[in-house]
Structure formats: C-alpha cells, structure tokens
Amino acid sequence: MSDAHLTARSLETLLGSWRGAAPSYQSLADRVRLLVLDGRIPIGTRLPAERELAARLELSRTTVTAAYRQLRDAGFVDSVRGSGSVTRLPGPALALPAAGSEGMLDFTKAALPAAASLPAAARAAAEELPHFLPDSGYDPVGLPHLREAIAERYRERGLPTDPEQVLVTVGAQQAIALIARAFLTRGDRALVEMPTYPHATEALRLSGARLVPVTVTPPEDGPHVIGAEDDGWDADAIEQTIRRANPALAYVIPDFHNPTGASMSPATRERLLAAAAAHGTIVVGDETTAELDIDRPGSLLPLPAYAERSAGAAPVILIGSASKSLWGGLRIGWIRADRPLVQRMIAAKPATDLGTPMLEQLVVARMLPQTAGILEERRVQLREGRENVRRLVAQTFPEWTVPSLHGGLAAWIGIGAPVSSALALAARNHGLLIAAGPRFGLDGAFERFLRIPITYSTEETERAFVALARAWATAATEPAPYFEAGALPNVV
C-alpha cells in the first residue's frame, strides 16, 4: 500500500469540472473512480477526510459520505481503521479480458509490431551467445560492439560520437530514471513540456523534483516548415521559465513530440540550449521517436549539434531506444552524453540493476546496421496508420481536429469538449482501452484531447473508432456505468 495522502485541495484540482446532470454524490464518485482508473490517483492513496473535502468543495458532508460509500460499494475504496478511505481496484479485476485479446482492444500503447528482420537477427544472436557464456554475464555499461553501433548511428545522423559516450540501459524508461537519480536531488526544479510522456514525469517526481511546465501545442494541419516559428514551442516562455525557475534539468522531446507530434525548429533548439547554458541547466533530449519520420520536410540534427550555434555549450544528454523502431519486447535503451556525465551515471547504475540482458544486446547490435531499411518499413506502416486515423476521424467525428502529423506514433486529437476522461472510461465498456488526454498532463489538464495511436492495423483502428463512437454517445451526458473490473493504462 502507498503512503500517499491526497489533500482536499489537490483532489479539487484533479476533479476539474466534475459536476454534471447526475446527483452531486454520483458525479463526485464517478469522477474519483475515473481518476483511479486512469492512474492519476495511484492505488493505495488516502483520500481527504469527508469533512475536509466537503468544506473544500462547498458540499454537505452527507453528499461526500454518499460518494465515498458508492466508491466502497463498487470496490474502488477501502475504509482502513486509522487510515481513512484508501483507493484500490475492484477485486474481480483479473477477470477482465486481456488487452489485445479478442475481447479487449488496447490502444493505450503507441507501439509498432516487431520489425520484419527481427526473427533472423534473434536466431543469429542466439548462435553468437555461446561466445559470451564464459563471462559472468553482468554487463553494466553495454557490449563494446553495441556501443560502437549506437555511436555509428549518431555519426550517420551528423553528431560525432565515440563508444565511451554511450551507456546501454534496460530500455529508455530506465535511462530517464537513471538520469534523474544521477542529476537531481530532492527539491530541485525540472522543466518539462506539457503535455508530455507521463512515465518521464513519474520518474522525475520519484527523484523528488518539482516540475515546472512549458506548453507544447500541436502543429496546425497542413504543410509544416521546420524553420517556422510556430513549431509548437514558445521559445520566449522557455527562456523565461529557465531564467526564473533555474531548473537543474530540462526534459524535452524535440522530434515528433509525444503526444502532440510537433518537431522543435532549429531556432527553438538554439534558444533552449543557450538559455540552459546561461543557467547551468542540463538538457535531456528524449529521442525515442526521433527517427520515425513519415514525410517531415527538411532534416534536423540531434539536439547537441545545435549547442555549438548557441551562446555557450549546455550539457546535453540524449536518450534512445530500440523499443519504438525495432520492437517493444527488446528492452534495450541507451544514453549518449559527454564522458564525465556518462561516468557519473555508470556510478549510479548499480543501485537499480547490475547489467543489461546480453541476448537482447546481441539482437539490437545486429539490427542497428539495418536501420535505413527498417525505418523505410516503419514509414510505410505509419503512413497507412496516419491516413486511417484521419479518414476515420473525418467520417465518424467531423467536429474533431487532427493536427499536422509528419512522424511519430500517435495523433493528438482535439475532441472539442472537456470529456476525454469520461470518453476513455466509457470506451472500456465497449472493448477499448485508451489513455485519456489528462494522462499526459499535470493536475487534470488536457480534457479536450485524446491520444490515438497510428500504429495499429486498419481493422484494429476501425474497431477502435466503432467503440469510440458508441462511447461518445453517452460520455458527455451520462456517467459511464460501473463495470466488473478495471485495468490501468500502465504503458503509454
């Protein structure tokens, strides 16, 4: 059980515009239930005392008591002596059809199926493995030839890199957590984009960081020029935030931003790095989607290449991953940074793991030289997925807006009403798991957006839109009914 305690003020912020046509106790219970299911109130969190919440929301205590009672009856809250009301999931949760089975379509994950060349690479890696068996198998920094292959890929992209600047990790998520552990102390500020990749903000918060947001807006549909000022980032706001908050670290996704799909222009990259250099801020560039280009006009270099053009040289740490371009089951990520920073992270790494899986490293080392062909394969898949989503939005929800999307894994759809969480919850009752817009924000923001992956087949995407259409009919007007079980979107 978590030791987290949610104050009445914090819960009020998360609730947002929760009052509806239903009785107040019903609307309040539905909204808390939705927040639990969407992961914004973690399991094991102690809710505010009834009297405290009633005063904060200007409700009678009887109303709050009735809401908590309904949550208990539905299995979303336990009353624990000495601990008050603690959130949980209903007991029959394991009875829910598995995500990806015929009974439940999982759109919480924006991920592609395995690259076509993976089986052959896996067989070759298995034959290569006996060469490494005489060693202990504990590999804290990464196989030398894999680090060289990663460095070579950066060199091909225009960023000089040697293997000593590369640290291999167990996926990109471990890379983010490792960076946070190595360079943040409790109370430090960390600049983050809003919306952003939610597992990154979770890792930064676990390190004790205080998050300072800057807004990213989805690019408008139509031709998008990389050098345009309207790239989605407000460079003035970035500079002001860094100057006022003096963050120790800035986490950004400069290419095919998750979830908006925006790409940071060269001018914005230079201004970000100049501001960071002036205030001693480490810039972390998440490049896990950087090479998933469909038809972006022009070309962009990796983020550190722009440091030389800015006033000063901010320390830049890049995060890469095999999971987005090759396959999610390959839990291999990496960090690219200057040697002193890499050494600092190597020193911090044993606290979380003693080595990266050997066989998976061998597979990735064999596949990286095939990157050009694999990316062309991905380009075809993503273009088809993008066009499917555009077509189905136009047919099913003509009032929704689809932003310009030249790459990445998902579309950040404007749904026109602040009902994303209700829509996602209702969709579960029609066989679809999908992450609501607020999953990518802080404190309940982005209720007018829904992230829809472009990584699924035509048949799966059409099934998803049928479910969304059925859910949309009730999401804005009625509370979604309770169902037998819940499933949290653990991976997005």
CA atoms of 360 and 329, how far apart (whole Å): 9
Q: Measured between alpha carbons, how far is 115 from 368 in angstroms, rounded to an integer? A: 12
- Kindly state the percentage of the chain with pLDDT values over 90: 67
Instruction: Please identify which residue in the block is written with the tokens 């983010």.
Output: 176
Q: Please tell me the predicted confidence (pLDDT) of residue 93.
A: 40
Q: Which of 340, 279, 265 is nearest to 312 (CA)?
A: 279
pLDDT above 70 (res 482): no
Q: Is 86 helix (H, G, I), strand (E, B) or coil?
A: strand
Strongest mean pLDDT among 20-34, 44-58, 168-182, 350-364: 168-182
CB 356 within 8 A of CB 189: no
- Identical fold, 96-115+373-475 and 118-370: no
CA distance 280 to 244: 13
Average pLDDT over residues 316-337: 96
Residue 283: CA count within 13 A, CB half-sphere:
28
Q: What is the pLDDT of residue 487?
A: 42
Burial class (CB in 10 A: 0-12, 13-18, 19+), 30: buried
Distance CA 26, CA 259 (A): 32
Q: How confident is the model at residue 483 (pLDDT cuts 50, 70, 90)?
A: very low
Do the bridges between strand 77-80 and strand 84-87 make them parallel or antiparallel, or are there none, so unpaired?
antiparallel
User: CB within 8 A of 460, min separation 6: which ones?
Assistant: 105
Q: Is the model's pLDDT at 486 over the cut of 70? A: no
Q: How many angstroms separate the CA atoms of 425 and 435, rounded?
A: 9
Within 431-484, strands assigned E span 432-433, 449-453
Range name among 31-40, 90-99, 240-249 with the lowest pLDDT average:
90-99
CA-to-CA distance for 32 and 27, rounded, in angstroms?
Answer: 9
CATH class for domain 8-89? mainly alpha
284-296: buried (b, 16+ CB within 10 Å) or exposed (e) per residue? bbbbbbbbbbbeb
Residue 27: pLDDT band with limits 50, 70, 90: confident
| 8 A C-beta contact, residue 140 and residue 358 | no
Q: If pLDDT is split at 50, 70 and 90, which confidence band does 15 have?
A: confident
Q: How confident is the model at residue 429 (pLDDT cuts 50, 70, 90)?
A: confident
Q: Each residue of 408-422: pLDDT tens digit?
A: 999 999 999 888 888
470 Cα distance to chain centroid: 26
The one-letter amino acid at 218: P
Percent over 70 (pLDDT), the chain:
89
User: Confidence class of residue 488 from pLDDT cuts 50, 70 and 90?
Assistant: very low
The angle subtended at Cα 377 by Cα 375 and Cα 381, nearest 5°, is: 110
**Whether the Cβ atoms of residue 255 and residue 264 lie closer than 8 Å to each other:** yes
Give me the residues paired with residue 284 across strands.
251, 317
pTM: 0.82
Q: Treating both helix axes as pointing N-terminal to C-terminal, what angle do 266-279 and 235-245 enclose, rounded to 10 degrees?
A: 10
- CATH fit for domain 118-370, picks 3.40.50.720, 1.10.1040.10, 3.40.50.2300, 3.40.640.10: 3.40.640.10
Output the average pLDDT for the chain: 88
CB 310 within 8 A of CB 294: no
pLDDT at 229 over 90: no
Answer whether residue 245 shows pLDDT above 50: yes
Alpha-carbon dihedral 371, 374, 376, 378, rounded to 10 degrees? -130
The CATH homologous superfamily for domain 96-115+373-475 is Aspartate Aminotransferase, domain 1 (3.90.1150.10)
The structural domains of the chain, with segments of one domain joined by +, span 8-89, 96-115+373-475, 118-370
Q: pLDDT grade, residue 41 (50/70/90)?
A: confident
pLDDT the model gives residue 386 = 98
Torsion of CA 296, 298, 299, 303, to 10 degrees: -90
When pLDDT is cut at 50, 70 and 90, the band that residue 39 belongs to is: low
**Which of 394, 411, 401 is CA-nearest to residue 454?**
411
**Residue 239 pLDDT exceeds 90:** yes
| Tens-place pLDDT, residues 92-130 | 443 344 444 457 899 999 999 999 999 999 999 999 999
Look at residue 96 in the predicted model and tell me its pLDDT. 40
